[in-house]
Amino acid sequence: MRGSARRASRPRRRRVRLLLGRNELRRPCDRIEGLVVASLVAAFLTAAIAAACFAGHLYQSERAMAAHMRPPAAALSRSGPMASAIHNASAGTSMPAWPARSGQPASSPAGAPGMIVTAFFAGFSVTTGAAVVLVLCYLLCRMVLDRRRLARWESAWAAVGPRWTSRR
């Protein structure tokens, strides 16, 4: 039992050492980049969970609205404000009507598959948008860190380079 617990903690120690360990070849910029990547991954996971919650809430609200908007079939006549919705029906025909808040006829609510697809694409688009924003943040951070690395390399080479080359 004790040996298996020790083996299970090894990967965690290895990851911590990879990010924060005292390797003499690791530059401070490399440590900063590792911390930025870890924080962006955490931000993406948070955004993905929030998108899933948003999609579930959207589905539940659409389902509640559809249940609220389903009145029994109403007898409508060919005259009045809703006549355009039933232009081919004869007088006294009963048909389901979904009036909007303004009293005008509205389209019927989507069925369960339509609500699921809408919620899925809403959650997917939020997750994709978060991924794009976080990738852009990473690229911007990488660009700044690469400029800093190049500047430090050039200054170090300016000090060491003349000793290695015969050109002066």
Predicted pLDDT of residue 21: 66
Buried b (16+ CB within 10 A) or exposed e, 148-162: eeeeeeeeeeeeeee
Residue 97 has pLDDT above 90, yes or no: no
Per-residue pLDDT, averaged over 83-89, amounts to 54
Indicate the pTM of the whole model: 0.58
* Alpha carbon distance 77, 91 (integer Å): 5
Q: Which of 5-19, 36-50, 52-66 has the highest mean predicted lDDT (pLDDT)?
A: 36-50
* Alpha carbon distance 155, 112 (integer Å): 64
Is 115 or 140 the better-scoring residue by pLDDT? 140
Segment (H or E) for 74:
strand 74-75
Residues above pLDDT 90, as percent of the chain: 28
Where along the chain do its domains lie?
28-70+112-157, 71-108
